[in-house]
Structure 1
Amino acid sequence: MIEIKEELLESVLEGAIHEIDDNAAKLISITRKIDAIEPLHFFVNAKQLAKDRTFWSSTADQFYIVGIGKAHTIRADSNRFQKTEKLWRNLLDEAIIHNPFQTPGTGMLALGGMSFDPGIRKSSLWEKFDHSLFAIPEYMLTVNESGYFLTVNVQADAETNANKLAGIIRRNEEVLIKPRPVLSAGPSIQWQEEVAPRDWMDTVKDATEAIEQNEADKIVLARELRVKLDSTVDIAAVLNNLIKTQSNSFVFAFEQGGDCFVGATPERLAKIEGTNVLSTCLAGTAPRGKTVSEDKRIGENLLYDEKNRSEHEFVVSMIKQAMDQYCTDIEIPDKPVIYPLKNLQHLYTPVTATLKDGYSIFDIIGELHPTPALGGVPRDESLEFIREHEQLDRGWYGAPIGWLDSNGNGEFAVAIRSGLIQGDEASLFAGCGVVRDSDPLAEYEETAIKFTPMLSVLGG
């Protein structure tokens, strides 16, 4: 139940509408505190409103954002980071925002993401996902350490009737906050097909030859696994399974016109709270062991493996270099530690810093993307090889996804361990870093391991 008198919604709307001094529509954002509600129930209830849904969770922090519908969208194809930030700033300047709480993830908020590379011709697989798309939801649930918050974002002009608008909002909110039964168990896989695996291994060989000829130091190559399921996928069930099985990850779903990009990524790109900046280096991968002793042995081998440490240092160096332009007080530990997940373990190094005046999270993610863990080193040369040789439109795979709020907070992750779900079919994606001594079969096997998190929640 909402902890706020219904008439207060009307009074806030009336006050906001009175602020509109011309007949042009403006975005009004109102945040209220509510009683506890299960985020996935809120997500499921939104099906009755027949609107696209967005889900974001930092499972380690018990932080959730669930967005329903689109009150406003921000799109950009070229100069995406600069244009998106400019449009977001313009929107904040024009919007009327009522948020007495000011905690991260509340107030007016944009959720979305970008494609890995707008320089690649978009395939039909990703036709519903723009190269950069951020949505301000019509209704949004935020769960953080301060409680549960419900935000409504609506377009209104000076002639809008506050009472009628409040009535529509209340009816939709009643649908969204209703308790729901237990979530379904999820789908099961009928068959799966790797897309051109032998061609992919040949491309790995081509990449090692290019590196031998000093055309690059590292090239990251991705591949696709196509999956057929026994029924139309219940996205809520997939999210539920990801939350249960993928701790220390960002669980996400972005619906767009019936398609849904969903996954659980452990890789944070950047987080900003006020002027505090956090980025994380997550490069170097190994499977988990079946016993405690085997798991420890595999982790120790990963810590001292020359190829994986080299891969990790590429990322650490690049993040430090990127942050130098926009931050002060940069702090980086001397060596990585093991970051364990359910199916995999990684080398992990956190980077903290203080944001300089005049810069934003878009400056940082624009400089960081793509990291050496997803593109390669040097960036331009590795991207050129990917464009020319990789037989795949990555779409939003490997790209920045996340959120930013009107309080100046935000968080972006790199969209790995993910798939695009279309009805009863899905395309899953995985990649690996190719260096001078890479073996095509070993790299193929590494990507096979990286498919595991998504395959497992789809019933594989």
Structure 2
Amino acid sequence: MSQAKKENKIEKDIRDSRKTKLDDSFIIKDFLEYVPYELGGMNMLHTKVPQIEEIIEDALANAVREGQPQLVSVVDRIDLTDPFIFFQNAAQVDQHRVFWRSAEEDFVMAGSGCASQMFTASQNRFHELQKAWNDLRAKAIVYDPFEQKGTGVVALGGFSFDSAEEEKTPWESFPDSQMTIPAFLLTNRNGESYFTTTVLIYPEDHEQQIVHQILEQRALLLKESRDVPDLPERLHATELNPEDWKASVKRATDDIKQGILDKVVLARELRVTFKDPVQIAAVLRELVNTQENSYIFAVESGGDYFIGATPERLVKVEDQQLVSTCLAGTTPRGKDAEEDHALGQQLYHDPKNRQEHEFVVRMIREAVEACCYNVEIPKAPVLYPLSNLQHLYTPVRATLENGYTLLDVVERLHPTPALGGMPQKASVTYIRENEYLNRGWYAGPIGWFDRSNNGEFAVAIRSALIQGKEASLFAGCGVVEDSDPEAEYEETAVKLKPMLSVLGGL
């Protein structure tokens, strides 16, 4: 096809798109010819600048015609881009930054700005958020010739552990449920970078002003930089009520023996102060470098950050294929191979840890079988090693039934016995009434989903709430009838190490 014919085809696609009803989302797959250009020294974008103007013009015209805002999303392929520099640059653009790194594949997302947000605060929060997402994506115009997961209109965020918790301190900046559609999203997958621009255009907006702002912010985000921030310098670390926490573990074992519940997970808090405000990009990079088999996440909200390196996937869905994880039972890594093996074998054959793990397997099986078929679960766990911990691990695979979504599964799984206890409702109530901290988003579902119903949620453990020069770190352990308070305390100390190591050292 000649260049002239290609350009005529592009123009025809754009004209046809303007005639398309907007009741359903649609994608123009061949709407542009990829011609690289450079703007202000930033990475190469493979889109013509005039095309952005035409896209905004079309979206603005539709907003005026319909008398309501129009969400429009454009995906470009760009030169391979460092996500940590992107995240650091994003601080100059907006106070809505998000980050996600997969534990099992070459897949990273870093987002800046807020094209739209979804909030819910009720017992039906997963259902309500799914409905809001369906409405939003149905009306979105998406220009995406690549169709890679995690591009286009993508929502990232999380949920609190307990929607019925009334205490807000210190989580005032994090609502019960919050999913953000970034204005700008870098997606790195399999050695390639994609750049999504998503804009909510109002009927009264000015076309040239929007285009200028998009190009200006792109230049800031994709600017190459050698200015890499340092890790924080820690001044103090204070354990909150350690003896009271141990006493709460003892009370829980007594309550379990009396049949009030079978198991409960109790968490504790470590408060840390720093010399200067924490540079989140530096912490993320160090977590990625040191926590190889963990999901690395960060969500900025109201100037505060929730950040972590969790080994525990809650659920992943891709092309209707579901993967979940049973991860319960913990021991440290050894100083050498012989000690490491001995600790692993001790964990594997320990009745308390095997019982705790079986609780998780049983509950996840029931939840997955309610909305899936072809469910596959191994009969016995294996050891799952991390940099300083090892866990008992059982994978779960299945095919999601038509009519169910990722959030339907999240709702059924949260909280697993590894984070709440057994029975589920009784343990959450027990935690609310007896734990010495407000969990907020700690141990809640955190993750993402895209317009194709791909997505993944992890359990937000091994995490910290960072507020300027201060941080709260969290760790918990499963309590059963023969739990020893001192041993459980030592287990939580080990679980705090991944975050402590990047927040001023151990």
| TM-score bracket relative to the smaller structure | over 0.9
Q: Which residue of 2 is the match for residue 386 of structure 1?
A: 431
Give, in angstroms, the shift of residue 325 of structure 1: 1.1
Q: Which residue of 1 is the match for residue 317 of structure 2?
A: 272
Aligned residue identity for 1:99: D
Distance 2:103 2:362 in 1: 28
Q: Which residue of 2 is the match for residue 239 of structure 1?
A: 284
Match of 2:91, SS state, is: helix
Q: Relative to 1, partners in 2 of residues 1:188 and 1:157: Cα closer, same or farther, differing over 3 Å?
A: closer
Aligned residue identity for 1:72: S
Alignment of 1:37 with 2:119, yes or no, is no
The match for 1:65 among 89, 109, 126 is 109
Give, in angstroms, the shift of residue 101 of structure 1: 1.7
1:163-209 C-alpha deviation (Å, 9 max, x unpaired): 43222211110110011115233012211111111111111011001
Match of 2:145, SS state, is: coil
Alignment of 1:77 with 2:121, yes or no, is yes
Distance 2:452 2:145 in 1: 11
Distance 2:170 2:206 in 1: 42
1:354-412 C-alpha deviation (Å, 9 max, x unpaired): 00010000110000000000000111121121111112100000000000001110000
Q: Which residue of 1 is the match for residue 255 of structure 2?
A: 210
Q: Relative to 1, partners in 2 of residues 1:157 and 1:50: Cα closer, same or farther, differing over 3 Å?
A: closer
Q: Relative to 1, partners in 2 of residues 1:193 and 1:159: Cα closer, same or farther, differing over 3 Å?
A: closer
Give, in angstroms, the shift of residue 44 of structure 1: 0.7
Distance 1:120 1:195 in 2: 20
Q: Which residue of 2 is the match for residue 281 of structure 1?
A: 326
Match of 1:380, SS state, is: helix
The match for 1:450 among 492, 495, 502 is 495
Alignment identity in percent? 50
Retained in 2: the 8 A contact 1:59–1:243? no
Retained in 2: the 8 A contact 1:287–1:298? yes
* C-alpha RMSD over aligned residues: 1.3
What are the within-5 Å matches in structure 2 for residues 308-457 of structure 1?
308-457=353-502
1:117-175 C-alpha deviation (Å, 9 max, x unpaired): 02112332000100001111111111112721111111114554444322221111011
Distance 2:465 2:201 in 1: 35
Retained in 1: the 8 A contact 2:169–2:438? no
Aligned residue identity for 2:459: V
Retained in 2: the 8 A contact 1:107–1:407? no
Q: Which residue of 1 is the match for residue 229 of structure 2?
A: 184
Distance 1:146 1:237 in 2: 22
Greater RCO (CA < 8 Å, at least 6 residues apart):
1
Retained in 2: the 8 A contact 1:4–1:34? no
Q: Relative to 1, partners in 2 of residues 1:19 and 1:50: Cα closer, same or farther, differing over 3 Å?
A: closer
1:49-100 C-alpha deviation (Å, 9 max, x unpaired): 2432111111431211111011111000001101110101111112222222
Q: Which residue of 2 is the match for residue 16 of structure 1?
A: 59
Match of 1:60, SS state, is: coil
Retained in 2: the 8 A contact 1:102–1:407? no
Q: Which residue of 2 is the match for residue 52 of structure 1?
A: 96
Distance 1:192 1:146 in 2: 39
Aligned residue identity for 1:46: A
Distance 2:206 2:426 in 1: 57
1:238-294 C-alpha deviation (Å, 9 max, x unpaired): 111101100111101111111100110010000011210000111110000010111
Q: Which moved more, 1:368-377 or 1:102-111?
A: 102-111
Retained in 2: the 8 A contact 1:417–1:453? yes
Distance 2:290 2:256 in 1: 37
Aligned residue identity for 2:499: M
Distance 2:419 2:204 in 1: 50
Match of 2:429, SS state, is: helix
Retained in 2: the 8 A contact 1:268–1:279? yes
The match for 1:106 among 127, 130, 151 is 151
Distance 1:101 1:146 in 2: 14
Retained in 2: the 8 A contact 1:24–1:157? yes
Distance 2:107 2:248 in 1: 40
Give, in angstroms, the shift of residue 348 of structure 1: 0.8
Distance 1:381 1:174 in 2: 52
The match for 2:132 among 71, 87, 109 is 87
Distance 2:202 2:265 in 1: 49
Distance 1:394 1:457 in 2: 21
Match of 1:107, SS state, is: coil
Distance 1:158 1:372 in 2: 49
Distance 2:172 2:57 in 1: 40
Alignment of 1:6 with 2:6, yes or no, is no
Q: Which moved more, 1:78-87 or 1:179-188?
A: 179-188
Q: Which runs of 5+ in 2 are unaligned?
A: 1-43
Alignment of 1:154 with 2:199, yes or no, is yes
Q: Which moved more, 1:84-93 or 1:144-153?
A: 144-153
